Structure 1
């Protein structure tokens, strides 16, 4: 009788894992339908100047950081992540509806971005919940997180080409309505199938803190990841307009390039997750850095479609390792604070957007879109200094084994 009562558990655990994979894909699709075309949307539909396009990304990142940090602290102390993810998805729906039918720059910047910030927070909260679920069920956390990150990349294989096809073929309204539908389905899956892990309120001093040495390395890691995501943000903001206005190549090529890189990121993430225990996370991030250096050097010289697509191999290694390993490194350095660590990592993306948004539009308006890639190489140099200053922390290494 005891055996009968325990038999369904592995099946239930597998079903829950499948639900996590679906949620990772849906949150990825929701973002992949909106982000790649945002600069084009602001330029053509809202008629914003290049500097205003860059400022929009900066404002979006600032609001996103404030919202996500508030939610991260709340969820780590006493929040039920499952309910929080559902609420974030529903607010993401409202944001998509606003972008679908409103074309006022300032309404979109303040009301639209505020709602979008909740929607985008669903993703890091899902990863924090997945980490807690993996630890509770004894699943290997590094590989499980890598597989979830691969699902997000899979969404980015489908999302950018689909976003451009919808926007150019049916209009931006249709594109944003599809993103809203992804959020609706995601909210339903979370509500019905993800585990609920309520936690008792903790005393103010009860939250685990990283050792002082880990905090120093976490700061260096924050700067390094911020610079790496900043270069990627420069690329996302700048590349579609660079392709169209300076290289005079087809508009759809931008979506194909993003989708190609995302597809190649999937095996990169899985391979990085597998080799993390052998080589360590710091070494893998240095490999990513080398790929990024070669990629942005190539973007400065490439002029033809075939070469631009071939460069996406380097882009995939660069972003695939960063996306798969960076978050786990933060979690290792901040034990007991899965939500705060995951959100801190996610906020490196947002700070990267702030830097990129501030630079991309201004540089493009004063000089040209090509010059933006030189800025990316300067940020790569800052990243190199930080990654070589990080010491191999024993707690982080053992956690990956």
Structure 2
């Protein structure tokens, strides 16, 4: 009898729709991001400094747009309609990059469209959190399985991205991404629910005014910025580092990213399982230790085999902080799923700003290896900061 009652929950079509949407939007993003630095270098023909500046401007715009949208998304309107609008902007952005090669256009109109489209994923996760709370679904594993879809997308996306870009050109690559976003819009429109707003307590309403009044939120935000700055420096620099400095095949970059994403999936699911028992803090600290070992390995070992082995530590680092980190923010900010998720993604964008500035300057003046020495130091700083944030059960 119990199994008969639990089976409909396991096969809940809304649950499956959330999985499919996060996977498809993740694939579309994973097609564009890995080759963006190569696109700017080869197709737009700009120096490394301008590549880093592009990532920085893109991140600044993303932060501004996300923060403007976050508060309204928790109190007004239909979150599903907002997600549809953001996906439409993603379609237009992909088409712009497919057929335009002017740096000023890409860094202005392209960045605006990219910033608007970047709101889609945090809003999808915020809608999923609200749906899980409303339907009494287990939040940690629901979120972990959804986040695993993004990792699965990054297993497929980066190798496919390099294959399309190198064999068929960037026009084909960006058109494929636009088509996937269009399919995602159809699925969102037909399948995702509209979840009514939940009334909050006066204490939670006070936190709506300024979550920065909570020192723990501030501390976690800073730690998260440093973590993601390390990761983004690696993503921006690695395709150029392995081809120009190490003399390895360019397609290896896609293989490394896909391998890490594939390893993230079981790690992420295990982290979600044990977070229910041990809380969010312990898995996050273990992830940061793995990050320290990863960047230490990058500065010590340079062979193809070593880089592949190191992806295990990279997967543990990114897989855990991407899933558990978001939940940690949500736990510290109860009743504000949209704002908490956006604050987490804002920390990613802020880390991208830092990474874009640092990577461009360091790689141009001191060589690519200097990027990974700094990432090692920054991962140690992030470990110290995160160790001071309390657990929330």
Taking structure 1 as the reference length, the TM-score comes to 0.93
1:158 aligns to 2:120 (yes or no): no
Q: Which portions of structure 1, spanning 4 or more consecutive aligned residues, are displaced by more than 6 angstroms?
A: 200-206, 210-214
| Greater shift in the superposed pair: 208-217 or 369-378 | 208-217
1:327 aligns to 2:294 (yes or no): no
Stretches of structure 2 lacking an aligned partner (at least 5 in a row)? none
Displacement after TM superposition at 1:384 (Å)? 1.9
Pick from 53, 56, 62 the counterpart of residue 55 of structure 1.
Answer: 53
Stretches of structure 1 lacking an aligned partner (at least 5 in a row)? 1-6
Secondary structure of 1:163's partner?
helix
Displacement after TM superposition at 1:389 (Å)? 1.8
Q: Is the 8 A contact 1:289 1:318 kept in 2?
A: yes
1:1-400 equivalence runs, <5 A: 10=8, 14-199=12-197, 207=205, 209=207, 215-392=214-391, 396-397=392-393
Displacement after TM superposition at 1:10 (Å)? 3.6
| Greater shift in the superposed pair: 154-163 or 276-285 | 276-285
Taking structure 2 as the reference length, the TM-score comes to 0.95
Q: Is the 8 A contact 1:79 1:198 kept in 2?
A: no
Q: Distance in 2 between matches of 1:85 and 1:380?
A: 33
| 1:3 match | none
Q: Distance in 1 between matches of 2:116 and 2:179?
A: 16
Displacement after TM superposition at 1:208 (Å)? 5.6
**Cα deviation digits, residues 229-262 of structure 1 (max 9, x gap):** 1100000000000000000000000000000000
Displacement after TM superposition at 1:53 (Å)? 0.5
Q: Distance in 1 between matches of 2:353 and 2:379?
A: 16
Displacement after TM superposition at 1:199 (Å)? 3.7
Q: Is the 8 A contact 1:208 1:336 kept in 2?
A: no
The alignment of Structure 1 onto Structure 2 pairs a total of residues equal to: 388
Task: Please give the root-mean-square deviation of Cα atoms over the aligned residues, in Å.
Answer: 2.2
| Greater shift in the superposed pair: 151-160 or 222-231 | 222-231
